[in-house]
């Protein structure tokens, strides 16, 4: 039996400090995904999470039985956004757009996932299973921090994360990302552990005429018009 130590391989992505944010490089990862809209307590969200776990465990057991490969089922994760990025912290919960995901090993293919989805539908007799798909997802450089406590108190931790990114010379891009290390059904709210992550990119340094790129363009135009090379 071959064991893929996925948690050890991706340790820096699934351990974080609550005291200080850090920058991490998130590689291209295979993921099971489900998209939806609404609050986390909505029926659609709960059904999507249940579908992901059903497919994830069906896939794991199929690999173990048929291919002699074992690996851990990873934590549930969520990508969050709203139509207007400037209001995502204050937008109504019913308008939240999310993609739930679970990371799987590189050996997993779309065909493997499609077979697992079909097996879940057949076994559970639920033809209307939420649309679980397979995608290879890349985030690149991200800022992340651990939030300890209820999900409703994440705001201060998110503000710290955003401030850290700015101080390090980065700006936010992409979707807010959460990794749920605790189970709200079994853990007290004050003990929940959630990694908060956000993709970032280098901010353009400011020059005397705006961004450095703009200043360089203006300098180039000036050189051209004066005959300098």
pLDDT of residue 205: 63
* Separation of CA 58 from chain center: 22
Where in the sequence of the chain do the CATH 3.20.80.10 domains occur? Answer: 14-24+140-229, 28-137
Given this model, what pLDDT does residue 153 score?
94
> What is the CATH T-level fold of the domain 28-137, as seen in this structure?
Multidrug-efflux Transporter 1 Regulator Bmrr; Chain A (3.20.80)
DSSP state letters, 17-49: -SSS-EEEEE--EEEEEEEEES-TTSHHHHHHH
Strand runs labelled E in 149-205: 170-172, 176-180, 193-202
Give the pLDDT confidence score for residue 127 in this predicted structure: 62
How many other C-beta atoms lie within 10 A of the C-beta of residue 158? Answer: 17
pLDDT of residue 219: 36
> Residue 158 is encoded by which pair of tokens?
């998110």
Domain 14-24+140-229 matching CATH 3.40.50.300: the answer reads no
Phi-psi region of 197 (alpha: psi -120 to 50; beta: other; left: phi over 0): beta
pLDDT in tens, the chain (229 residues): 999 999 999 999 999 999 999 999 999 999 999 999 999 989 999 999 999 999 999 999 999 999 999 999 999 999 999 988 777 778 888 899 999 999 999 999 999 999 999 999 988 866 678 899 999 999 999 999 999 999 989 999 999 999 999 999 999 999 999 999 988 778 888 999 999 999 999 997 654 444 444 434 433 333 333 333 3
Query: In angstroms, what CA-CA distances link 224 with 130, 210, 215?
Result: 59, 21, 14
């Amino acid at each position: 039996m071959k064991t893929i130590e996925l948690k050890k391989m991706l340790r820096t992505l699934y351990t974080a400090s609550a005291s200080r944010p850090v920058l991490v490089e998130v590689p291209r990862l295979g993921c099971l995904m489900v998209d939806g809209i609404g609050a986390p307590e909505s029926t659609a969200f709960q059904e999507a999470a249940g579908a992901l776990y059903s497919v994830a465990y069906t896939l794991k057991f199929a690999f173990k039985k048929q291919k002699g490969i074992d690996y851990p089922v990873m934590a549930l994760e969520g990508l969050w956004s709203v139509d207007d990025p400037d209001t995502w912290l204050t937008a109504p919960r019913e308008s939240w757009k999310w993609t739930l995901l679970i990371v799987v090993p590189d050996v997993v293919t779309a065909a493997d996932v499609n077979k697992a989805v079909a097996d879940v539908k057949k076994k559970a007799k639920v033809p209307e299973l939420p649309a679980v798909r397979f995608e290879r997802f890349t985030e690149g450089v991200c800022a992340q921090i651990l939030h300890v406590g209820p999900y409703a108190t994440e705001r201060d931790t998110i503000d710290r994360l955003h401030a850290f990114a700015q101080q390090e010379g980065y700006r936010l891009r992409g979707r807010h990302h959460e990794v749920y290390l605790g189970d709200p059904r079994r853990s007290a709210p004050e003990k929940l552990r959630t990694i908060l992550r956000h993709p970032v990119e280098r901010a353009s340094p400011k020059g005397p005429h705006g961004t450095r790129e703009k200043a360089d363009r203006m300098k180039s135009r000036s050189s051209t018009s004066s005959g300098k090379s």
